[in-house]
Amino acid sequence: MNLRHITILLLGLLCVAVKAQNTNNNTSPYTFIGDQTKILEATYDTTTSKHFDVIGVLSSGKMVKAKFNFRNRTVSLEDYNGNIISIDTLSVDSKAFTTIDPHAENYYHLSPYNYCGGSPVNAIDPNGMDIYMLFYTTGNGRGDEMFKSAAETRKYDIEHSDFYDAANDIVLMCGIQDISIIGSLVSSAVESYGDIFGKTAEFSIWSHAGKDGPTGTIRTSHNALDGKQMTLEGWGNIDFNWASGATANFYGCKTGVGDYSNPSFSTRISSLNNYRDVSVHGQTSSAYPSNYTNIRQNNQEMINGVFSYPTYMVGGASLGIVGHFFPTSTRANPMRTSRNGKGVVDRYYQPGIRR
């Protein structure tokens, strides 16, 4: 490298340094590498209130609380019993954290000191629209990865759909073992997110199931039916705070199997007062993993017990011996749609990728 090259390099580094220092005070100092986030402009005022708390539910079902202390300018993450999980300090001058976000490597486009993606006003949106609640069972001897992958597929499809607005909608996904805990988790979600994101647009659950509904993996603690299922009374006690046009989806086996004299689980659910005008969907046969919603199609990964996007649980016939060794397909069975105690099997297939 000759003297001319060294001079050009030093001038380039100097320009970068000057640009970083001369960045507008309302812009992240990382803007020159592509960060377009804004730092919230605000003045520090004393307040008689000591704390501002935000309560949330983790995917594990545990409740946590983010506690903002206005007097000493700290924010702490606490568990339900008040035990501090982590704590950090907010700087008055920079309007950002004074330590690096432990997940900064996942967000290279943001300053590692940012709070709420550099947009705390948008991150706490009081005019929200929809909440999507996705549950799947864990602790199964067979099916854990399949159920979780199907829930993750639905989450991805929702968040990449035309109707989803990241500023106004939220998708909550949670693994459970006790079916009856759904009631308390739904109540916590409605209480924690209802004022921010509105009402529940969808409730879905992926699990082993039968004609009496989803099956958990440990004994049901409340309103138990046959040990690991939940009674209709238990399902009827859940306050979902439904949005207009909401859906409830039961993707386990045979949740939509029934007839006029012996209604399916999904039809009986739809007759309950707390599911009034909600479209309830259930499987009209045993359910299997598939790459599509209207075709039962497996691939080599599924044959090997590995599941990734896209994975859907669809009704259908067995693929036979060939399907145990080679990718095979057959037509999927449509789901039963029930509203207000009346069910019909038409041409409804769950949302997702069709072939």
Measured in whole angstroms, the distance separating CA 351 from the mean position of its chain's CA atoms is: 16
Q: How far is CA 172 from CA 51, 130, 158, 201, 240, in A?
A: 26, 11, 11, 12, 13
The sign of the dihedral angle between the CA atoms of 261, 275, 204, 231 is negative
What are the pLDDT tens digits along the chain (355 aa)? 544 443 333 334 334 333 334 444 444 343 333 333 333 333 444 444 455 666 665 545 566 667 666 565 666 666 656 666 656 665 544 445 555 554 444 444 455 555 444 544 333 333 347 999 999 999 998 899 999 999 999 999 999 998 999 999 999 999 999 999 999 999 999 999 999 999 999 999 999 999 999 999 999 999 999 899 999 999 999 999 999 999 999 999 999 999 878 999 999 999 999 999 999 999 999 999 999 999 999 999 999 999 999 999 999 987 878 777 888 999 999 999 999 999 999 889 999 999 9
The answer as to whether 97 is a domain residue is no
Please give the residue range of the domain that contains residue 267.
130-345
Residue 95 lies in a domain: no
Is residue 33 domain-resident? no
User: In this structure, are strands 342-345 and 84-89 parallel, antiparallel, or unpaired?
Assistant: unpaired
Q: Give residue 12's pLDDT.
A: 45
Encoded tokens for 256? 């939509």
- What are the structure tokens assigned to 280, written together? 């309830």
Q: Per the domain annotation, does 100 fall within a domain?
A: no
Residue 288 forms part of a structural domain: yes
Going by their DSSP bridges, the two strands 208-210 and 213-215 should be labelled as antiparallel
In a domain, 109, yes or no: no
Structure tokens at 56: 């949330």
**What is d(CA 281, CA 247) in angstroms, rounded to the nearest whole number?**
8
Exposed/middle/buried for residue 320 (C-beta within 10 Å: 0-12, 13-18, 19+) = exposed
Instruction: Name the 3-class secondary structure at 226.
Output: coil
Q: Work out how many domains the chain is built from and give that number.
A: 1
- d(CA 197, CA 186) in angstroms, rounded, equals 14
Q: What is the DSSP letter of 88?
A: E
Most distant CA atoms of the chain, gap in Å:
92
Q: Is residue 134, in this structure, part of any structural domain at all?
A: yes
Decide if 78 is inside a domain: no
